[in-house]
């Protein structure tokens, strides 16, 4: 039982920039070169921007990206030496008034060097410059008719430890390069996006009793949603935003509840005298998937809402302690070693609720806390390997993964 609770309180580390490591790659994608024509910042700033551009293009999984740093005038003719590539992505970052920052992008089809894409972008706050890059890559990708990567512009929300018993709620871009503290003061943990538009979040504030709050990230207003003794965590939100899945322990042991925002009614969904946590909706929100110790170790189970019958979903591993769901797919973390004196191996697996399908997503290290993207085509997770920590992105349809090296403050939990 303690194992699950400890893992629920597990920590992440913080990302420095979008330095990427390709884990797997394909060979039949179009090649692309990048040119920096910026009028902003010194060498360090320009290199950081270049790495973000390069990283975004790689993470699409649609291009073979040359990581050579090249410069050129924005209106210069295309260098004949680049005509062996399929595409050229040229960008210019420039300053505006006050905190404004602009990014101009021009895409060329090679070998002719014909312009096929041109657009300009602007942010009023320079700290948000990663979103200039994300949007430019999204639009360039769309212009070429590639599958959408619009998930790149979504926020990530996380809880970051500031000092003992102090944790802030932070919103960030998916690379964790941009970050903004939105809730401070006290212990604020387990943030969860409240809606598809990412206007608000639910989070738990730990005081004399746990309190679940809703917070609007644009207005700064918050309201109290629920109070409970023991444990109180929002683990999922229905598609219409009217129902929440909560982990609560009013009587000592945590169970899963469905909370109806319209009426304030709490509907108990699990009745096991042990630990049931981290529920998420699956199969059109007719069922839930959750982590339970009812086998004597953490494992993944499912139950139909309104029924006490429980189905074991995973028959692999002896410690399956975290999961994320999208429609009828589930990604979970499974311990694959049992070493009392060294780090154990935890790998991620993808399974379906409609078949016996199972697919291993990682091969080494400690891979935990998976989170599906909104479209279900990517998974974000935390990786520990060889005394290093990284945030990983797995592009499921392309069998390709990327690692973002991390350092800095500890992160308690994350949602995408």
Do 365 and 345 form a contact (C-beta atoms < 8 A)? yes
What pLDDT does 340 receive? Answer: 56
Q: Which residue's structure tokens are 């312009």? A: 115
What pLDDT does 83 receive? Answer: 93
In tens digits, the chain (416 residues) has pLDDT values of: 433 343 333 333 444 444 444 444 446 899 999 999 998 888 889 999 999 999 999 999 999 999 999 999 999 999 999 999 999 999 999 998 888 999 999 999 999 999 999 999 999 999 999 999 999 999 999 999 999 999 999 999 999 888 888 999 999 999 989 999 999 999 999 999 999 999 999 999 999 999 999 999 999 999 999 999 889 999 999 999 999 999 999 888 899 999 999 999 999 999 999 999 999 999 899 999 999 999 999 999 999 999 999 999 998 887 998 999 998 899 999 988 776 556 788 999 999 888 888 999 998 888 988 999 989 999 999 888 777 778 899 999 998 999 887 777 787 888 98
Do 43 and 24 form a contact (C-beta atoms < 8 A)? no
What pLDDT does 341 receive? Answer: 59
What pLDDT does 8 receive? Answer: 39
What pLDDT does 345 receive? Answer: 87
Pairwise CA distance, residues 336 & 116, whole Å = 49
Contacts of 138 (CB under 8 A, 6+ apart): 148, 149, 150, 152, 153
Tokens for 5, please give them.
Answer: 């609770």
Pairwise CA distance, residues 263 & 247, whole Å = 18
Do 43 and 49 form a contact (C-beta atoms < 8 A)? no
Instruction: Look up the pTM and report it.
Output: 0.88
Tokens for 394, please give them.
Answer: 């797995």
Domain limits of the chain? 21-150
CATH topology for 21-150?
Answer: Rossmann fold (3.40.50)
Q: Which residue's structure tokens are 């935890």? A: 346
What pLDDT does 241 receive? Answer: 94
Pairwise CA distance, residues 81 & 343, whole Å = 48
């Amino acid at each position: 039982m303690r194992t699950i609770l400890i893992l629920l309180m597990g920590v992440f580390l913080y990302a420095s920039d979008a330095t990427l490591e390709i884990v797997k790659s394909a060979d039949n994608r179009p090649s692309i070169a990048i040119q920096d024509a910026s009028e902003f910042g010194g060498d360090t700033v320009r290199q950081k921007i270049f790495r973000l551009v390069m990283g975004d293009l790689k993470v699409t999984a649609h291009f073979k990206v040359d990581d050579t740093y090249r410069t050129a005038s924005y209106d210069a003719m295309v260098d004949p030496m680049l005509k062996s590539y399929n595409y050229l992505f040229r960008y210019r970052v420039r300053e505006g008034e006050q905190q404004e920052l602009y990014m101009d992008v021009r895409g060329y089809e090679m070998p002719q060097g014909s312009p096929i894409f041109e657009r300009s972008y602007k942010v009023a706050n320079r700290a948000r410059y990663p979103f200039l890059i994300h949007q430019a890559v999204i639009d360039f990708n769309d212009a070429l008719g590639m599958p959408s990567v619009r998930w790149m512009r979504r926020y990530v929300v996380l809880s970051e430890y500031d000092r003992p018993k102090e944790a802030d709620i932070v919103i960030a871009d998916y690379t964790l390069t941009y970050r903004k503290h939105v809730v401070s003061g006290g212990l604020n943990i387990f943030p969860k996006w409240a809606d598809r538009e990412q206007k608000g979040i639910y989070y738990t504030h730990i005081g004399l009793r746990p309190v679940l709050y809703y917070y609007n990230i644009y207005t700064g207003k918050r309201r109290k949603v629920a109070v409970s003794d023991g444990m109180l965590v929002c683990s999922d939100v229905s598609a219409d935003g009217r129902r929440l899945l909560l982990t609560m322990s009013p009587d000592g042991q945590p169970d899963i509840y469905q909370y109806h925002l319209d009426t304030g009614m709490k509907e108990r969904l699990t009745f096991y005298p042990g630990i049931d946590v981290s529920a998420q909706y699956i199969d059109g929100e007719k069922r839930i998937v959750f982590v339970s110790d009812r086998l004597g170790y953490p494992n993944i189970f499912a139950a139909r809402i309104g029924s006490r019958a429980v189905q074991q979903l995973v028959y692999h591993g002896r410690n399956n302690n975290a999961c994320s769901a999208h429609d009828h797919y589930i990604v979970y973390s499974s311990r694959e070693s049992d070493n009392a004196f060294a780090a154990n191996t935890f790998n991620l697996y993808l399974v379906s609720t409609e078949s016996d399908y199972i697919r291993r997503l990682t091969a080494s290290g400690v891979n935990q806390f998976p989170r599906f993207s909104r479209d279900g085509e990517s998974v974000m997770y935390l990786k520990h390997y060889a005394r290093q920590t990284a945030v990983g992105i797995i592009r499921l349809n392309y069998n390709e993964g990327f690692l973002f090296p991390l350092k800095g403050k500890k992160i308690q939990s994350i949602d995408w």
